[in-house]
Amino acid sequence: MTVAPLALPARRPRAVTADVLYREVLRAAAACVLVVVAVIVYQTARGAGPALHTYGARFLTGTEWDPVAEHFGALPYVFGTLVSSLLALALALPPCVGAAVYLSELAAPRVGEAMAFLIEMLAAVPSIVYGLWGLFVLAPWLRAGIEPWLIAHLGFLPLFQGFPFGIGMLNAVIVLAVMIAPTIISISREVLLATPGALREAALALGATRSEALGVTLRVARPGILGAVILALGRALGETMAVTMVIGNSNAMSWSLLSPSATMSSVIANEFAEATGKLHASALIEIALVLFALTVLVNAVARLLVYWTTGGRRHDAARA
């Protein structure tokens, strides 16, 4: 006797389609992220086209920036960006690593967390506020007190020659250092908290002082801290508003910290809205392209290092 096969209920096509549709909509949204970056690359490349075509490599080596005569050399701005960022990094690094060590290893847990929280609040202050502070508070201090002192006592160095304007490279370096400090501190702290305590114990058990045991921990955390530093560098390179307000906006390239200067982002901020002529606008967009490439590269290297040492734990560095 044959038994009729069980009539299984047909799969509800509606639900299946709804599932697929839902997933595809979400996937499209995710694809938007790729589209946005593609658009950024395309727009900057296209906009920079005329300038790339006209000036070629001379763009990055020339020092004359004349919108009227249409001579555009961006070297002073590249120089200004690199110098201000690297000096800010050098200024911020020792205190920030020290602070990170204190917060992760030395302070009582609740004190450390409270202080870490306050330092992260530093990161929430918008760039323009730092710019205001640099312009109206720091500049008078520099002009009246610090810069004259530097000129008087260290003026034999080309580093400190010139007129105490109050604004200029020195001001920008200080403001940038303050702005990138939270990044360095919070990531370094996380890296230090992630290093195994067993090594510290081993060092102490051998008769090391606390700072000697710290040396071992720092040695292990070095790649991660380096990652934090490079991430902070990326932040500093792209920083616009605060720098624009305090750096003086002169395209002179000088070894003196006291001289007014300019960066890639400051020249774009200052000139783009009123760019005279297509070539001028295109030159500015080419600067934006260079800045974009530079920050993407630096950030990629940084994230690699940070991921590697925090064991892949994700840190939204854009948050800090």
Residues 84-113 binding another protein (CB under 8 A) are 94-99, 101-103, 106-109
Query: Cβ neighbours of residue 185 under 8 Å, at least 6 residues apart?
Result: 96, 99, 100, 103, 116, 119
Taking the least distance from each CB to another protein, the nearer of 73 and 182 is: 182
Where do we find the tokens 């918008």?
A: 126
Q: Which of 290, 234, 238, 237 is nearest to 47 (CA)?
A: 290
Handedness of CA 54, 58, 64, 65 (dihedral sign): positive
Q: Between residue 121 and residue 180, which ones bind another protein under the rule CB under 8 A?
A: 121-122, 124-133, 135-137, 178
Taking the least distance from each CB to another protein, the nearer of 78 and 256 is: 78
Minimum distance of another protein from residue 108's CB (angstroms)? 7
Q: Between residue 187 and residue 246, which ones bind another protein under the rule CB under 8 A?
A: 196, 198-199, 201-212, 214, 216, 219-220, 234, 237-241, 245
Tell me if 253 contacts another protein by CB under 8 A. no
Q: Between residue 258 and residue 317, which ones bind another protein under the rule CB under 8 A?
A: 265, 268-269, 272-273, 284-285, 288, 291-292, 295-296, 298-300, 303, 314, 316-317
Residue count, binding to another protein (CB under 8 A): 104
Taking the least distance from each CB to another protein, the nearer of 106 and 154 is: 106
Where do we find the tokens 């500015």?
A: 284
Among residues 27, 53, 278, 313, the one that binds another protein under rule CB under 8 A: 27
The Cα 5–Cα 197 span in angstroms is 66
Please state the φ and ψ torsions of residue 250, each to the nearest 5 degrees: -130, 140
The Cα 65–Cα 77 span in angstroms is 10
